[in-house]
């Protein structure tokens, strides 16, 4: 029960005549709008114009790394699907056709729409197989297109193999050579990384690398 002394009674302010015509409020609103029109803009007309720098440690689209022989690095240990808080990684393992490991993933799917980009999967991976690239531009025309399978994730590795994603906390030995951190421009300069092609029908097919990974990448 609310006690009387706890009740705060607010008296309605009495407006004077010139205040009741709301002209001062209107003028104050116009002054505020004018100030914002004349002040420095914080927004850009994306995507025609882009900011000069992007955070190199931005956690974006995943990639599945390959080893020097062109095979998928993942050993199907199931640590990443186990730790993933969004439950968006699905791995199907099978006995590996190579003598240096027990298993490899025959299927590896990530639902990029469910992912919360926390980075726990890349932190937990014992062989640095899964990583989050700084790519934040990803599109798809359907939900199914945003479920990235092993082939798409390997294709992203091929497209971004020169980048070493920056992990947080920093891991010794990692360098940040991220094209996204170079000065960007509106038109005519180097194009930023995008995942558009990976999620769209008609994307360039993945070229299998030479070597033992050809049949079972």
Strands (DSSP E) found in the chain? 62-64, 89-95, 103-111, 130-132, 147-148
Q: Which is nearer to ligand SF4, 130 or 163 (CB)?
A: 130
From 54, 67, 77, 195, residue interacting with ligand SF4 (rule: CB under 6 A):
77
Distance CA 59, CA 47 (A): 19
Q: Which is nearer to ligand SF4, 15 or 94 (CB)?
A: 94
Least distance between ligand SF4 and beta carbon 19 (Å):
54
Least distance between ligand SF4 and beta carbon 71 (Å):
12
Q: Which of 67, 58, 98, 137 is nearest to 216 (CA)?
A: 98
By CB under 6 A, the residues from 127 to 166 that bind ligand SF4 are 127, 129-130
From 86, 96, 203, 216, residue interacting with ligand SF4 (rule: CB under 6 A):
86
191 within 8 A of 199, measured Cβ to Cβ: no
Mask for 105-124, x = binds ligand SF4 (CB under 6 A): -----x----xxxxxxx--x
φ, ψ dihedrals at 131, nearest 5°: -145, 155
Strands (DSSP E) found in 15-75? 62-64
Residues that bind ligand SF4 (CB under 6 A): 74-80, 84-86, 88-89, 91, 110, 115-121, 124-125, 127, 129-130
């Amino acid at each position: 029960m609310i006690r009387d002394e706890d009740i705060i009674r607010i008296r309605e302010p009495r407006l004077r005549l010139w205040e009741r015509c709301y002209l001062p409020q209107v003028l104050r609103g116009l002054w505020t709008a004018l100030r914002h029109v004349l002040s420095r803009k914080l927004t850009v007309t994306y995507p025609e114009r882009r900011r000069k720098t992007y955070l190199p440690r931005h956690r974006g689209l995943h990639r599945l790394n390959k080893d020097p022989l062109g095979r998928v690095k993942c050993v199907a240990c199931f640590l990443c699907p186990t730790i993933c808080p969004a439950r968006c990684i699905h791995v199907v393992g099978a006995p590996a056709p190579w003598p240096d490991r027990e298993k490899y993933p025959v299927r590896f799917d990530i639902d990029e729409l469910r992912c919360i980009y926390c980075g726990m999967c890349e932190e937990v991976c014992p062989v640095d197989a899964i990583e989050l690239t700084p790519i934040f531009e990803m599109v798809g025309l359907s939900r199914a297109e945003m479920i990235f399978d092993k082939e798409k994730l390997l294709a992203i590795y091929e497209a971004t193999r020169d980048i070493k994603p920056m992990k947080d906390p920093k891991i010794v030995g990692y360098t940040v050579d991220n094209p996204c951190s170079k000065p960007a421009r509106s038109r005519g300069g180097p194009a930023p990384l995008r995942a558009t092609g990976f999620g769209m029908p008609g994307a360039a097919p993945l070229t299998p690398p030479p070597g033992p990974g050809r049949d079972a990448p």
